[in-house]
Protein backbone atom coordinates (compact mmCIF):
# COMPACT_ATOMS: atom_id res chain seq x y z
CA UNK A 1 0.00 0.00 0.00
CA UNK A 2 1.30 3.45 -0.95
CA UNK A 3 -0.06 6.97 -0.42
CA UNK A 4 -0.71 7.95 -4.04
CA UNK A 5 0.10 11.39 -5.38
CA UNK A 6 -2.91 12.49 -7.41
CA UNK A 7 -3.53 15.15 -10.06
CA UNK A 8 -7.00 16.17 -11.22
CA UNK A 9 -7.53 17.25 -14.83
CA UNK A 10 -10.86 18.98 -15.31
CA UNK A 11 -10.93 20.49 -11.82
CA UNK A 12 -12.92 23.42 -13.24
CA UNK A 13 -16.05 21.28 -13.71
CA UNK A 14 -18.57 19.68 -11.39
CA UNK A 15 -17.05 16.19 -11.37
CA UNK A 16 -13.48 17.46 -11.01
CA UNK A 17 -14.51 19.75 -8.18
CA UNK A 18 -16.30 16.85 -6.50
CA UNK A 19 -13.15 14.72 -6.73
CA UNK A 20 -11.17 17.51 -5.08
CA UNK A 21 -13.74 17.80 -2.29
CA UNK A 22 -13.72 14.05 -1.63
CA UNK A 23 -9.93 13.89 -1.60
CA UNK A 24 -9.83 16.71 0.96
CA UNK A 25 -11.24 14.15 3.38
CA UNK A 26 -9.08 11.27 2.13
CA UNK A 27 -6.37 10.35 4.64
CA UNK A 28 -4.23 8.30 2.26
CA UNK A 29 -4.06 10.28 -0.98
CA UNK A 30 -2.36 13.61 -1.73
CA UNK A 31 -3.53 16.13 -4.32
CA UNK A 32 -0.42 17.39 -6.13
CA UNK A 33 -1.90 19.07 -9.22
CA UNK A 34 -5.06 20.81 -10.39
CA UNK A 35 -5.68 21.39 -14.10
CA UNK A 36 -8.38 22.64 -16.44
CA UNK A 37 -10.22 20.41 -18.87
CA UNK A 38 -8.17 21.38 -21.90
CA UNK A 39 -10.95 23.46 -23.43
CA UNK A 40 -9.92 26.62 -25.23
CA UNK A 41 -10.26 29.88 -23.38
CA UNK A 42 -9.79 28.46 -19.89
CA UNK A 43 -7.71 30.74 -17.70
CA UNK A 44 -5.77 29.71 -14.56
CA UNK A 45 -7.89 30.28 -11.46
CA UNK A 46 -7.80 29.61 -7.73
CA UNK A 47 -9.69 26.43 -6.87
CA UNK A 48 -11.68 28.26 -4.19
CA UNK A 49 -12.92 30.83 -6.71
CA UNK A 50 -14.52 28.15 -8.87
CA UNK A 51 -15.57 25.89 -5.96
CA UNK A 52 -16.14 28.17 -2.95
CA UNK A 53 -17.02 25.24 -0.66
CA UNK A 54 -13.34 24.29 -0.79
CA UNK A 55 -12.28 27.62 0.72
CA UNK A 56 -10.03 26.88 3.69
CA UNK A 57 -9.89 23.18 2.77
CA UNK A 58 -7.80 23.17 -0.40
CA UNK A 59 -5.41 25.81 -1.68
CA UNK A 60 -3.93 25.98 -5.16
CA UNK A 61 -4.47 27.19 -8.70
CA UNK A 62 -6.08 25.33 -11.53
CA UNK A 63 -3.53 25.51 -14.33
CA UNK A 64 -3.79 24.90 -18.05
CA UNK A 65 -3.69 21.20 -18.87
CA UNK A 66 -0.82 19.67 -20.82
CA UNK A 67 0.90 16.32 -20.53
CA UNK A 68 4.16 18.03 -19.60
CA UNK A 69 2.55 20.09 -16.84
CA UNK A 70 0.67 17.09 -15.45
CA UNK A 71 3.77 14.89 -15.37
CA UNK A 72 5.74 17.69 -13.69
CA UNK A 73 3.59 17.12 -10.59
CA UNK A 74 5.03 13.56 -10.39
CA UNK A 75 1.63 11.90 -9.98
CA UNK A 76 1.02 8.23 -9.29
CA UNK A 77 -2.53 8.63 -10.59
CA UNK A 78 -4.41 11.16 -12.70
CA UNK A 79 -8.16 11.70 -12.77
CA UNK A 80 -9.38 12.81 -16.20
CA UNK A 81 -12.68 14.65 -15.70
CA UNK A 82 -12.40 15.83 -19.28
CA UNK A 83 -14.29 15.68 -22.59
CA UNK A 84 -14.05 12.35 -24.39
CA UNK A 85 -11.68 13.62 -27.06
CA UNK A 86 -9.35 15.16 -24.47
CA UNK A 87 -9.15 11.89 -22.53
CA UNK A 88 -8.58 10.01 -25.78
CA UNK A 89 -5.53 12.23 -26.39
CA UNK A 90 -4.14 12.52 -22.86
CA UNK A 91 -4.54 8.97 -21.54
CA UNK A 92 -2.09 7.17 -23.88
CA UNK A 93 0.72 9.63 -23.11
CA UNK A 94 0.13 9.48 -19.36
CA UNK A 95 0.04 5.68 -19.44
CA UNK A 96 3.30 5.62 -21.39
CA UNK A 97 4.86 7.62 -18.56
CA UNK A 98 3.80 5.00 -16.01
CA UNK A 99 0.85 6.89 -14.53
CA UNK A 100 -2.42 5.24 -13.48
CA UNK A 101 -5.29 6.90 -15.38
CA UNK A 102 -8.83 7.08 -14.01
CA UNK A 103 -10.92 8.43 -16.88
CA UNK A 104 -14.37 9.83 -16.14
CA UNK A 105 -15.16 10.40 -19.82
CA UNK A 106 -16.52 7.69 -22.12
CA UNK A 107 -13.32 7.44 -24.16
CA UNK A 108 -12.52 3.89 -22.96
CA UNK A 109 -15.84 2.51 -21.68
CA UNK A 110 -16.92 0.60 -24.80
CA UNK A 111 -14.67 -2.27 -25.87
CA UNK A 112 -15.57 -2.06 -29.58
CA UNK A 113 -13.83 0.84 -31.38
CA UNK A 114 -16.49 0.72 -34.12
CA UNK A 115 -19.08 2.10 -31.68
CA UNK A 116 -17.32 5.41 -31.05
CA UNK A 117 -18.04 7.26 -34.32
CA UNK A 118 -21.80 6.66 -34.09
CA UNK A 119 -22.20 7.20 -30.35
CA UNK A 120 -19.45 9.70 -29.50
CA UNK A 121 -18.59 11.37 -32.78
CA UNK A 122 -14.91 10.45 -33.06
CA UNK A 123 -12.87 7.58 -34.45
CA UNK A 124 -11.01 5.67 -31.76
CA UNK A 125 -7.28 5.53 -32.43
CA UNK A 126 -6.30 3.25 -29.53
CA UNK A 127 -8.08 -0.12 -29.76
CA UNK A 128 -5.19 -1.67 -27.83
CA UNK A 129 -6.08 0.51 -24.84
CA UNK A 130 -9.76 -0.45 -25.10
CA UNK A 131 -8.67 -4.04 -24.62
CA UNK A 132 -6.60 -3.06 -21.56
CA UNK A 133 -9.12 -0.77 -19.87
CA UNK A 134 -10.95 -1.99 -16.77
CA UNK A 135 -14.57 -0.92 -16.51
CA UNK A 136 -14.63 0.93 -13.22
CA UNK A 137 -17.81 -0.33 -11.58
CA UNK A 138 -16.16 -1.14 -8.28
CA UNK A 139 -18.81 -3.51 -6.89
CA UNK A 140 -18.78 -5.77 -9.97
CA UNK A 141 -15.24 -5.48 -11.33
CA UNK A 142 -12.93 -5.07 -8.35
CA UNK A 143 -10.23 -7.53 -9.42
CA UNK A 144 -9.78 -6.02 -12.87
CA UNK A 145 -9.72 -2.49 -11.42
CA UNK A 146 -7.05 -3.43 -8.89
CA UNK A 147 -4.85 -4.84 -11.68
CA UNK A 148 -5.27 -2.12 -14.32
CA UNK A 149 -3.48 1.15 -15.06
CA UNK A 150 -6.40 2.41 -17.20
CA UNK A 151 -9.76 2.54 -15.47
CA UNK A 152 -12.83 3.67 -17.41
CA UNK A 153 -15.11 5.11 -14.74
CA UNK A 154 -18.75 4.37 -15.68
CA UNK A 155 -21.32 6.93 -16.70
CA UNK A 156 -23.86 8.17 -14.17
CA UNK A 157 -26.99 6.76 -15.82
CA UNK A 158 -25.31 3.37 -16.50
CA UNK A 159 -24.21 3.11 -12.86
CA UNK A 160 -27.80 3.52 -11.68
CA UNK A 161 -28.96 0.80 -14.08
CA UNK A 162 -26.14 -1.75 -14.17
CA UNK A 163 -25.83 -2.14 -10.40
CA UNK A 164 -29.35 -3.58 -9.99
CA UNK A 165 -29.49 -5.17 -13.46
CA UNK A 166 -26.27 -7.13 -13.88
CA UNK A 167 -26.62 -9.66 -11.01
CA UNK A 168 -30.17 -10.50 -12.16
CA UNK A 169 -29.03 -10.95 -15.77
CA UNK A 170 -26.10 -13.11 -14.69
CA UNK A 171 -28.44 -15.28 -12.62
CA UNK A 172 -30.69 -15.91 -15.64
CA UNK A 173 -33.75 -14.34 -14.03
CA UNK A 174 -34.68 -12.19 -17.04
CA UNK A 175 -36.67 -13.14 -20.13
CA UNK A 176 -34.01 -12.87 -22.89
CA UNK A 177 -36.71 -12.21 -25.53
CA UNK A 178 -37.68 -8.83 -24.06
CA UNK A 179 -35.54 -5.71 -23.66
CA UNK A 180 -35.04 -3.96 -20.34
CA UNK A 181 -36.91 -0.63 -20.34
CA UNK A 182 -35.27 2.22 -18.43
CA UNK A 183 -36.80 5.60 -17.68
CA UNK A 184 -34.34 7.74 -15.72
CA UNK A 185 -34.34 11.33 -14.52
CA UNK A 186 -31.21 13.37 -13.77
CA UNK A 187 -30.65 16.74 -12.18
CA UNK A 188 -29.21 19.54 -14.27
CA UNK A 189 -25.62 19.02 -13.08
CA UNK A 190 -25.56 15.96 -15.31
CA UNK A 191 -25.31 18.32 -18.27
CA UNK A 192 -22.06 19.80 -16.96
CA UNK A 193 -21.13 23.30 -15.92
CA UNK A 194 -21.27 24.99 -19.31
CA UNK A 195 -24.58 26.90 -19.34
CA UNK A 196 -27.27 26.27 -21.94
CA UNK A 197 -30.86 27.52 -22.31
CA UNK A 198 -32.21 24.08 -21.43
CA UNK A 199 -30.56 24.08 -17.99
CA UNK A 200 -31.05 27.72 -16.96
CA UNK A 201 -33.05 27.82 -13.72
CA UNK A 202 -36.02 29.72 -15.17
CA UNK A 203 -36.19 27.41 -18.21
CA UNK A 204 -35.57 23.94 -16.80
CA UNK A 205 -38.55 21.59 -16.69
CA UNK A 206 -39.20 17.88 -16.45
CA UNK A 207 -38.79 16.58 -20.00
CA UNK A 208 -37.43 13.65 -21.97
CA UNK A 209 -34.40 14.09 -24.22
CA UNK A 210 -32.08 11.92 -26.30
CA UNK A 211 -34.94 9.48 -26.91
CA UNK A 212 -33.72 6.38 -28.78
CA UNK A 213 -30.34 8.04 -29.31
CA UNK A 214 -28.66 8.56 -25.92
CA UNK A 215 -25.00 7.51 -25.91
CA UNK A 216 -25.29 5.71 -22.56
CA UNK A 217 -27.61 3.04 -23.95
CA UNK A 218 -24.84 0.86 -25.46
CA UNK A 219 -22.81 1.14 -22.25
CA UNK A 220 -25.78 -0.19 -20.29
CA UNK A 221 -26.22 -3.09 -22.69
CA UNK A 222 -22.53 -4.04 -22.90
CA UNK A 223 -21.90 -3.97 -19.16
CA UNK A 224 -25.40 -4.75 -17.91
CA UNK A 225 -25.75 -8.08 -19.69
CA UNK A 226 -29.10 -7.36 -21.39
CA UNK A 227 -30.63 -5.42 -24.25
CA UNK A 228 -31.73 -1.99 -23.03
CA UNK A 229 -34.12 0.68 -24.28
CA UNK A 230 -33.27 3.88 -22.44
CA UNK A 231 -35.19 7.16 -22.13
CA UNK A 232 -33.47 9.88 -20.06
CA UNK A 233 -35.26 12.86 -18.55
CA UNK A 234 -34.09 16.20 -17.22
CA UNK A 235 -35.42 17.03 -13.77
CA UNK A 236 -35.88 20.45 -12.19
CA UNK A 237 -33.29 19.89 -9.46
CA UNK A 238 -29.52 20.15 -9.30
CA UNK A 239 -28.14 16.67 -8.61
CA UNK A 240 -29.19 13.04 -8.40
CA UNK A 241 -30.60 10.31 -10.64
CA UNK A 242 -33.71 8.21 -10.16
CA UNK A 243 -34.01 5.28 -12.56
CA UNK A 244 -37.15 3.21 -13.04
CA UNK A 245 -36.27 -0.13 -14.64
CA UNK A 246 -38.91 -2.48 -16.13
CA UNK A 247 -37.90 -6.14 -16.41
CA UNK A 248 -39.65 -9.03 -18.11
CA UNK A 249 -38.86 -12.07 -15.98
CA UNK A 250 -38.21 -15.72 -16.66
CA UNK A 251 -41.36 -17.66 -15.80
CA UNK A 252 -41.50 -18.54 -12.14
CA UNK A 253 -39.11 -15.83 -10.95
CA UNK A 254 -40.20 -14.46 -7.58
CA UNK A 255 -39.45 -11.27 -5.73
CA UNK A 256 -37.77 -13.33 -3.04
CA UNK A 257 -35.43 -14.87 -5.62
CA UNK A 258 -34.56 -11.43 -7.00
CA UNK A 259 -33.91 -10.03 -3.54
CA UNK A 260 -31.74 -12.99 -2.56
CA UNK A 261 -29.73 -12.61 -5.77
CA UNK A 262 -29.07 -8.90 -5.18
CA UNK A 263 -28.38 -9.38 -1.48
CA UNK A 264 -25.79 -12.07 -2.25
CA UNK A 265 -24.16 -9.98 -5.00
CA UNK A 266 -23.74 -6.96 -2.73
CA UNK A 267 -23.25 -8.60 0.68
CA UNK A 268 -19.75 -7.12 0.95
CA UNK A 269 -20.52 -3.81 -0.77
CA UNK A 270 -21.23 -1.01 1.71
CA UNK A 271 -22.39 1.46 -0.94
CA UNK A 272 -25.29 -0.58 -2.36
CA UNK A 273 -28.38 -0.57 -0.14
CA UNK A 274 -31.27 -2.92 -0.98
CA UNK A 275 -34.40 -1.45 0.58
CA UNK A 276 -37.08 -3.56 2.29
CA UNK A 277 -40.23 -4.50 0.41
CA UNK A 278 -42.60 -1.54 0.12
CA UNK A 279 -39.87 1.08 0.44
CA UNK A 280 -38.60 3.03 -2.56
CA UNK A 281 -35.44 5.09 -3.14
CA UNK A 282 -35.41 8.85 -3.40
CA UNK A 283 -32.82 11.28 -4.69
CA UNK A 284 -32.85 13.12 -1.37
CA UNK A 285 -31.75 9.99 0.50
CA UNK A 286 -28.55 9.61 -1.55
CA UNK A 287 -27.70 13.24 -2.26
CA UNK A 288 -23.99 14.01 -1.70
CA UNK A 289 -23.27 10.37 -0.83
CA UNK A 290 -21.71 7.43 -2.64
CA UNK A 291 -24.70 5.16 -2.04
CA UNK A 292 -26.92 3.46 -4.58
CA UNK A 293 -30.34 2.68 -3.09
CA UNK A 294 -32.41 -0.06 -4.76
CA UNK A 295 -36.08 -0.95 -4.34
CA UNK A 296 -38.06 -3.54 -6.27
CA UNK A 297 -41.45 -5.19 -6.68
CA UNK A 298 -42.80 -8.05 -8.81
CA UNK A 299 -46.25 -7.86 -10.38
CA UNK A 300 -48.62 -10.27 -8.57
CA UNK A 301 -50.08 -11.74 -11.79
CA UNK A 302 -47.48 -11.17 -14.51
CA UNK A 303 -43.77 -12.01 -14.94
CA UNK A 304 -42.84 -8.36 -14.68
CA UNK A 305 -40.71 -6.49 -12.14
CA UNK A 306 -40.09 -2.83 -11.45
CA UNK A 307 -36.80 -1.74 -9.94
CA UNK A 308 -36.10 1.77 -8.75
CA UNK A 309 -32.57 2.96 -8.06
CA UNK A 310 -31.22 6.29 -6.85
CA UNK A 311 -27.72 7.73 -6.88
CA UNK A 312 -26.04 11.12 -6.73
CA UNK A 313 -24.86 11.61 -10.30
CA UNK A 314 -21.78 13.58 -9.21
CA UNK A 315 -20.70 11.17 -6.46
CA UNK A 316 -21.62 7.53 -7.09
CA UNK A 317 -22.18 8.47 -10.73
CA UNK A 318 -18.77 10.11 -11.15
CA UNK A 319 -16.32 11.37 -8.51
CA UNK A 320 -17.11 8.98 -5.67
CA UNK A 321 -16.96 5.99 -7.97
CA UNK A 322 -13.62 7.22 -9.32
CA UNK A 323 -12.24 7.46 -5.78
CA UNK A 324 -13.51 3.93 -5.09
CA UNK A 325 -11.46 2.83 -8.08
CA UNK A 326 -8.41 4.72 -6.79
CA UNK A 327 -8.76 2.94 -3.46
CA UNK A 328 -8.99 -0.46 -5.13
CA UNK A 329 -6.08 0.18 -7.45
CA UNK A 330 -3.72 1.26 -4.66
CA UNK A 331 -4.83 -1.23 -2.03
CA UNK A 332 -6.49 1.38 0.19
CA UNK A 333 -9.65 0.84 2.27
CA UNK A 334 -12.59 0.89 -0.14
CA UNK A 335 -14.55 3.46 1.87
CA UNK A 336 -11.62 5.85 2.44
CA UNK A 337 -12.63 9.42 1.67
CA UNK A 338 -16.22 8.38 1.06
CA UNK A 339 -17.51 7.80 4.58
CA UNK A 340 -16.98 9.72 7.81
CA UNK A 341 -15.18 8.03 10.71
CA UNK A 342 -18.29 6.70 12.43
CA UNK A 343 -19.77 5.59 9.13
CA UNK A 344 -16.56 3.70 8.30
CA UNK A 345 -16.98 1.65 11.47
CA UNK A 346 -20.60 0.82 10.64
CA UNK A 347 -19.66 -0.15 7.07
CA UNK A 348 -16.93 -2.45 8.33
CA UNK A 349 -19.32 -4.16 10.75
CA UNK A 350 -22.12 -4.64 8.21
CA UNK A 351 -20.17 -5.52 5.05
Q: Which run of H or of E encompasses 132?
A: helix 127-132
Q: Please say whether the beta carbons of 6 and 19 come within 8 A.
A: no
CB proximity list for 239: less than 8 A, separation 6 or greater:
187, 189, 190, 283, 287, 288, 312, 313, 314
> Any catalytic annotation for residue 325?
no
- Among 244, 246, 238, CA closest to 313: 238
> How many Å apart are CA 198 and CA 208, to the nearest integer?
12
List the catalytic residue out of 24, 156, 269, 292.
Answer: 156
Taking the C-alpha atoms of residue 10 and residue 12, their distance in angstroms, rounded to an integer, is 5
**229 close to 131: Cβ distance less than 8 angstroms:** no
Contacts of 232 by beta carbon, 8 Å cutoff, 6+ apart? 157, 184, 185, 186, 208, 209, 210, 214, 216
| Of residues 156, 180, 152, 155, the one with CA closest to residue 166 | 180
The catalytic residue positions are: 156
Amino acid sequence: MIMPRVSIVGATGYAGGEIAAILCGHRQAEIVGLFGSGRRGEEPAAIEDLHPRLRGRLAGRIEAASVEAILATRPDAVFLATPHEASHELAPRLLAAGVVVLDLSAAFRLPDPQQYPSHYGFAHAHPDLLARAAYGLAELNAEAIAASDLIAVPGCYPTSVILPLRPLADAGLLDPRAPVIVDATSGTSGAGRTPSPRTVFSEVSLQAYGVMSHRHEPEMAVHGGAEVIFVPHLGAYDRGILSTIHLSLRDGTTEREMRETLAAAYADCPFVRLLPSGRWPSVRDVERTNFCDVGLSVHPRRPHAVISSAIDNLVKGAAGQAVQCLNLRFGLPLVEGLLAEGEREVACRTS
